[in-house]
Amino acid sequence: MLAAVITELKDIPKAKDADLAELRLDYIKNINNAKLKNLMQNCRKPVIVTNRKKSEGGFFNGNENKRIETLKNALELGADYVDVEYSSDKKSIRDLIHNKRKTKIIVSYHDFEKTPGDINKIYVRIKKLNPDFIKIVTNARSVADNFRIFDLIRKANKEKRKIIAFCMGDYGKFSRILSIIFGSQITYASISKRKESASGQLTINEMVGHYRIKKINKNTKIVGLIGNPVEHSWSHIMHNAAFDAFDINAVYLKFRVDRLKEFIDYFRKLNIMGFAVTVPHKIKVMECLDEIDRQAKEIGAVNTIVSKNGRLVGCNTDCHGAIRALKAKTRLKNKNAIVLGAGGTARAIAYGLKEEKSNIIILNRTAEKAKKLADYFNCDYGSLEHLKNIDYDILINATSVGMHPNIGSSPVPPDCIKNGAVVFDAVFNPYKTKLLKIAEKKGCTVIPGIEMLIYGNMMQFRLWTNRDLPESVMKKMIVVYAKNASN
Ligand SMILES: NC(=O)c1ccc[n+]([C@@H]2O[C@H](COP(=O)([O-])OP(=O)(O)OC[C@H]3O[C@@H](n4cnc5c(N)ncnc54)[C@H](OP(=O)(O)O)[C@@H]3O)[C@@H](O)[C@H]2O)c1
């Protein structure tokens, strides 16, 4: 179930897509019984009454007896759920449980710093109080902290205990969705951005619109992006919209991953379709897989993992995405193409251009890296400054220069951009980079990085589902980009 966290009374109508409303009394001023009753009625859906003290991440700063008193009042007024912290006086918790009538009592434990090693002991201690729900929410300092919380959810399910558990923080964001698949009972969302009551909390719109929270269940297949960072990616919007369009029971998540091998080893045992892989894991991930396909092996990087009968197979869709975006605008055979950059993306694009029989030159800030790549592809190379002396038909930026937030930068100065050339920028945020803006003024044919992303995502979707991403979904993605990306 999805609970909307209400921190301001005027937001109650905005909780309409949630199953529950959590009334955070510690945010609401001058609360009394009449006002509480009124509020509970206004919510028009089951209500969780919560009144957090400061040490539990809340704003209540009055007397502890008074705080517990409001929870007792909520019981008497017939609140559907009351949340009381495990750190409260145990007699008060027992009294609430004893006098609960139809109200369900959630006994909650929070650690805003870490995921403690003795998480099972905490669970056992709360279990002894016999509440309706055991809530354990910790901060993930590493992706691996989530695994302990997931294991705890499984243990509680086996014992037929109702549990609410997930991790806070950037490393724990995905657990707010995944925990529901594993059997956690409630996940929480803010009404809007900047109204989060805890770190890593997503909005109702993100939970419902972007992550299909209302459609997932224990059979939902898991797929998503592995990287660090991953926040900037919007691929989840596209893939989840496609799962909606085809009515596929799957969800695409964003996994901020620090401990890669541990992540792969944990997830390979789960109901996964595969993963997309981004910086900095595209090369390292190859060591964690069962098989690498020929193209990814030759490129030397994996950006897509497909789970085939329990075996993890590494592929590369960056090459396909870039070449398809280029071919939609220009012929490649015998054209003179400059690739700026010598990282993973430059490598995938150079590989594709070579296959298409373009004449390529690799230019990079660090010339030795350009040389290494040029040796591999048997082509010319140089530093970025060499561009002014080279004639070319196609200019490709495969560096990260110009990427959000550094949107004022271009990898090369305006006088190096040839009038009328084809200019492709792999950077996809912003939608139109500084390089593309300058190129457009020079009458060039410009290709934004989003086109590569879309074609790459289409191939990933086919690899994972054996189906083609519908055009309507791709268009929606472009509209989202155009609307949101800074121009
Ligand atoms: N559109 C898509 O679908 C798509 C797919 C994949 C990647 N991308 C984008 O492609 C870009 C490159 O990704 P990657 O995976 O190849 O990264 P990477 O392996 O880390 O390589 C980064 C490249 O950028 C160069 N670079 C970084 N900062 C620079 C600076 N200040 N001045 C000049 N050169 C600089 C590096 O040069 P040095 O060798 O000198 O460090 C290197 O060649 C990223 O923006 C990424 O988002 C787009």
- Poorest-pLDDT segment among 127-136, 267-276, 342-351, 470-479: 470-479
Provide the CA 13 distance to its chain's centre, in angstroms: 27
pLDDT of residue 232: 81
Q: Which of 110, 173, 221, 281 is catalytic?
A: 110
Provide, rounded to the nearest whole percent, the portion of the chain with pLDDT above 90: 89
At residue 482 the predicted structure's pLDDT band, cuts being 50, 70 and 90, is low
Length of the chain: 487
- Where do the H-state alpha helices sit in 109-253? 119-128, 143-158, 175-182, 204-205, 235-246
- Ligand 1: distance of its center to the CA of 269 in Å? 33
Phi first, then psi: give them for residue 285, nearest 5 degrees.
-65, -25
Point out the ligand 1 atom lying closest to the alpha carbon of residue 321.
3
Integer Cα distance of 479 and 472 in angstroms: 11
Residue 260 contacts residue 285 (beta carbons within 8 Å):
yes
Residue nearest to atom 20 of ligand 1 (CA): 343
Provide, rounded to the nearest whole percent, the portion of the chain with pLDDT above 70: 97
pLDDT at 367 over 70: yes
Residue to substitute in 231, 279, 345, 386 for testing ligand 1 pocket (most ligand atoms within 8 angstroms of CB): 345
- Poorest-pLDDT segment among 293-297, 327-331, 474-478: 474-478
Residue 287 contacts residue 262 (beta carbons within 8 Å):
no
Q: Which of 83, 145, 170, 318 is catalytic?
A: 318
Rounded mean pLDDT, 3-24: 95
Comparing CA positions, the residue from 449, 474, 448 lying closest to residue 462 is 474
pLDDT of residue 479: 65
Residue to substitute in 315, 324, 385, 400 for testing ligand 1 pocket (most ligand atoms within 8 angstroms of CB): 400
Residue 274 contacts residue 464 (beta carbons within 8 Å):
yes
- Ligand 1: distance of its center to the CA of 345 in Å? 7
Q: What is the pLDDT of residues 160-211, one digit of tens each?
A: 999 999 999 999 999 999 999 999 999 999 999 999 999 999 999 999 999 9
Rounded mean pLDDT, 364-384: 96
Structure tokens at 60: 């209540």
- Poorest-pLDDT segment among 375-379, 403-407, 414-418: 403-407
Q: What is the pLDDT of residues 21-50, one digit of tens each?
A: 999 999 998 888 999 999 999 889 999 999
pLDDT of residue 487: 44
pLDDT at 241 over 60: yes
pLDDT of residue 118: 93
Structure tokens at 337: 């193409």
Point out the ligand 1 atom lying closest to the alpha carbon of residue 366.
40
At residue 474 the predicted structure's pLDDT band, cuts being 50, 70 and 90, is confident
428-to-206, 286, 329, 348 alpha-carbon distances in Å: 21, 25, 17, 16
Known catalytic membership, residue 110 = yes
Phi first, then psi: give them for residue 107, nearest 5 degrees.
-100, 120
Q: What is the pLDDT of residues 69-92, one digit of tens each?
A: 999 999 999 999 999 999 999 999
Residue nearest to atom 7 of ligand 1 (CA): 345
Point out the ligand 1 atom lying closest to the alpha carbon of residue 232.
47
Residue nearest to atom 33 of ligand 1 (CA): 365
Integer Cα distance of 417 and 355 in angstroms: 25
Place of tokens 């390292």: 284
Residue nearest to atom 44 of ligand 1 (CA): 400
Known catalytic membership, residue 308 = no
pLDDT of residue 486: 47
3-state secondary structure 268-293: CCCCEEEEEECCCCCCHHHHHCCEEC
Phi first, then psi: give them for residue 166, nearest 5 degrees.
-170, 175
Pocket lining for ligand 1, CB < 6 angstroms:
279, 318, 321, 341-346, 364-366, 369, 398-401, 403, 411, 426-428, 449, 452-453, 456
User: C-alpha angle 416/418/420, rounded to 5°?
Assistant: 160
Integer Cα distance of 85 and 442 in angstroms: 63
Residue 166 contacts residue 179 (beta carbons within 8 Å):
yes
Known catalytic membership, residue 193 = no
The residues with which 340 forms a beta bridge, in sequence order, are 363, 397
Structure tokens at 272: 């996964």
- Ligand 1: distance of its center to the CA of 354 in Å? 20
Rounded mean pLDDT, 446-460: 93
Domains of the chain: 2-217 (3.20.20.70), 225-316+455-479 (3.40.50.10860), 320-447 (3.40.50.720)
Q: Estimate the share of the chain in helix, then strand, then coil, as percent rounded to the nearest 5.
A: 40, 20, 35
Residue 289 contacts residue 302 (beta carbons within 8 Å):
yes
Integer Cα distance of 188 and 167 in angstroms: 11
Place of tokens 């080893």: 265
- Poorest-pLDDT segment among 3-7, 8-12, 469-473: 469-473
Phi first, then psi: give them for residue 420, nearest 5 degrees.
80, 0
Angle at which helix 64-76 crosses helix 33-43, to 10 degrees, equals 50
Phi first, then psi: give them for residue 451, nearest 5 degrees.
-65, -40
Query: Mean of the per-residue pLDDT values for the chain?
Result: 95
Q: Which of 221, 239, 281, 282 is catalytic?
A: 282
Known catalytic membership, residue 318 = yes
At residue 478 the predicted structure's pLDDT band, cuts being 50, 70 and 90, is low
pLDDT at 253 over 80: yes
pTM above 0.85, yes or no: yes
